[in-house]
A and B are shown apart, each in its own frame.
Chain A
Amino acid sequence: MIELKNVTRRFGETVAVDNINLTIETGEVCVLVGSSGCGKSTTLRMINRLLSHSDGDILVDGQDITTMNPQKLRLNMGYVIQGTGLFPHWTVARNIAMVPRLLKWPKERIDARVDELMTLLGLDPAIHADKFPQQLSGGQAQRVGVARALAADPNILLMDEPFGAVDAITRENLQLEMLRIQQQVRKTTVFVTHDIDEALRLATRIAVMDQGRIIQHDTPENILRRPASDFVENLVGKQDRGLKLMSLRPVRDLMTAHATPRPPEAGAEGLKEEDNVRLALSVMLWRDLPQLAVINARGEETGFITRDSIIGAGA
């Protein structure tokens, strides 16, 4: 758990972060979102003491971070930055092994961990381990960046606009990957972005920041439904909210379940239970169908979802 209590950061006369209070529960993904210069990166960098805070207290698992050794603190916090920050003179494997080596793990344990992480992030160790970062695509390099942050299995993950420098398609893939990994490892994550869609997709809770203050700190659904101010309302896109809310809701919520799962009809294309309702509606509109089958992870048909149920449920 990370707690920020009345935290202020001044650079000379300017106040970058203005008396904020924020609690990030263990295992949750807190996304700090706002335009550039709003203090979101400053907030993140105060948590691992790359910047000191001018006033207030920052506690990690109840302990004041100013009483801790900064290196020790950071070794237990994975750190991912925009443009990866991979070391160009080290191979992919050596980059991922960075923190375990600093922690002086035995070599076999490091090698095993590097293999495990590369596999987790969809990089084949046999192909990529000995490459240098410059030989990777933007998406691959960013995956290595995430693998490096997870290497020593830290409790906390700090991500500073990690997917800001990759193209839209790669970014979406990385976000899905991130959700998948988060389900497996459940790290307490602070994620900084200026992209509200990224925030809505990844966050357990979103903290909207403006001019050094936290305007609203709530779940994605509440941010969309009850924006605290015009600023937040504009940020999430006034007109677009209906569809954005749909994309937060899984198909599972609105489907009509069969009494028992059954094998799917041959050739019929179905939706997955965890696909979002917006996608379901889009598929139905495109293929002009009144309803679609829903398939679970084992490939069994567990129910169906209708166009009417989606429209009926509303935003």
Chain B
Amino acid sequence: MATPGHVSGQALPNRVIPALGLLALALVWLMELGTIQPNRIVPGTGHGLLSAVGWLGAGLVTGALAGAIVLSFLSLRRRYWLLLGVVGLSLALMPLLLDVFALRHLPENAPYARSSIGAGFWCLLFLLSLMLIEILGRLRAGRSLQLMLLVVIATSWLLLLGAEGLESLSLVREFNARPDQFEQALRTHLALAFGAVAISAVVAFLLALKMIRSPGWQRPILGAVSFLQTIPSLAVFGLLIAPLSALSSAFPALQSLGIRGIGWAPAVLALIAYSLLPMVRNTYVAINGVPEHLVDAGRGMGMTERQLFLQVRLPLALPVIIEGVRITTIQAIGLTAVAALIGAGGFGGFIFQGLGEAAMDLVLLGALPTIGLALLADALLTMLAASLRPTPATT
């Protein structure tokens, strides 16, 4: 794969990594790495990099970033692999910073004291991730390498966060205060988001088929699902309360199923309504976009319409359909957080509870897993779509 252009491209100095590295250096020194709070509500005292982790820690952070910047200027053949090592290792070991910070600053015998993560840490995490993405792009890393890195970094974080020193971390505190609730929220969140996506995938598939079979239905169906998409999400949740309450009081049998004006029922309905547009449009465009000459060839060779659909149209449309599922899933995971407002549960519950109690760490306990779930779903579905695409032409 080492084309001449590729090699000379590797030898050129990289501009992205030094820029990100310098920015990270500046931010990690200028902003607070963490905060120590005497208890949950009282605002704490912030600590910069040097104060938080001492000369050794600050030196290591600075050294790693400076090393990455210098490496990206050197015209070594293997420099992107070296960079991958430096940046990957830094990312994997980042929780150690918090560990050292807590050990140095947390007062003894103060059971309510907690440490929390500052802006400097988040910036460092974000910029290092961007550098990793740039390096992986330059290396033209395959899916397996990307997946392996992800697993290594995630495992390292889980191990380090589970270790003794980080018990004081406010996020961990919030989690430890309600592990059952967290698990429950995770389960509800996944059930709501994926349940809604699954149902709307089926409905959208049927609607798209209807649009293809009878083109007259195309405008009304697309119009209806576009209209659903334009209503603000909170409004849908609100609007559904009245009719569902009326329904459940008219038919008590529904109540025993848990269908009420608030709770999971309106949440799922609203999520489905939002998911329909991207799903219907992608499915319709995907199936309709299969080149007519291929269908013609299949038909001319003696395929039945059913065989044509299952063996030609559907497999060729699948990557685009999955793209629709990907967009919808990410959107649904985010929206499910809002659905907590009508009592549906999920990670949104922590966010709104935290907002109410002015406990930012509880907000983070809801927000971070939501983001994580969305990123994970994005990565998995992108991989699935890529693996279903026919192999591109190679020279």
Contact = CB atoms under 8 A, between A and B. Distances in A.
Given A81-B297, A85-B297, A102-B307, A72 B390 contact: no
A70 to B, nearest CB: 8
Given A81-B297, A85-B293, A85-B294, A135 B302 contact: no
Contacts, number: 63
Contacts of B298: 85, 87
Contacts of A77: 302
A48 interface: yes
A83 B301 CA distance: 15
A85 B392 CA distance: 17
A98 B300 contact: no
A102 B302 contact: yes
B82 interface: no
A135 B298 CA distance: 21
A71 B302 CA distance: 4
A79 B391 contact: no
B301 A148 contact: yes
B198 to A, nearest CB: 25
B73 to A, nearest CB: 39
A72 B302 CA distance: 7
B316 A135 contact: no
A90 to B, nearest CB: 8
Contacts of A78: 301
B44 to A, nearest CB: 58
A257 B142 CA distance: 67
Contact of A75 (B297, B302, B391, B392): B302
Most chain A beta-carbon contacts within 10 A, residue among B296, B299, B302, B307: B302
Contacts of A289: none
Given A88-B316, A89-B316, A99 B302 contact: yes
Nearest to A83: B293
Interface residues on A, range: 20 to 34
B304 interface: yes
B390 A89 contact: yes
Contacts of B296: 50, 81, 85
A78 B302 CA distance: 9
B304 A89 contact: no
Contacts of B301: 74-75, 78-79, 98-99, 102, 148-149
Interface in A60-112: 71-75, 77-79, 81-83, 85-89, 98-99, 102
A71 B393 CA distance: 32
A135 B299 CA distance: 24
Given A132-B391, A134-B390, A134-B392, A102 B294 contact: no
Contact of A134 (B297, B307, B312, B391): B391
A85 B301 CA distance: 11
A50 B303 CA distance: 12
B230 interface: no
A105 B296 CA distance: 23
A85 B391 CA distance: 17
A157 to B, nearest CB: 12
B256 interface: no
Looking at B293, B307, B391, the one whose CB has the most chain A CB atoms below 10 A away is B391
A77 B294 CA distance: 17
Given A73-B302, A134-B392, 19 more contacts: A71-B302, A71-B303, A74-B302, A77-B302, A79-B297, A79-B300, A81-B293, A81-B300, A82-B293, A83-B293, A85-B298, A87-B294, A88-B294, A99-B302, A102-B302, A134-B390, A134-B393, A135-B393, A158-B300
25 contacts: A45-B300, A50-B300, A71-B302, A71-B303, A71-B304, A72-B302, A74-B300, A74-B301, A75-B302, A79-B300, A81-B296, A81-B297, A83-B293, A85-B293, A85-B296, A85-B297, A88-B316, A89-B316, A89-B390, A102-B307, A132-B390, A134-B390, A135-B393, A135-B394, A158-B300
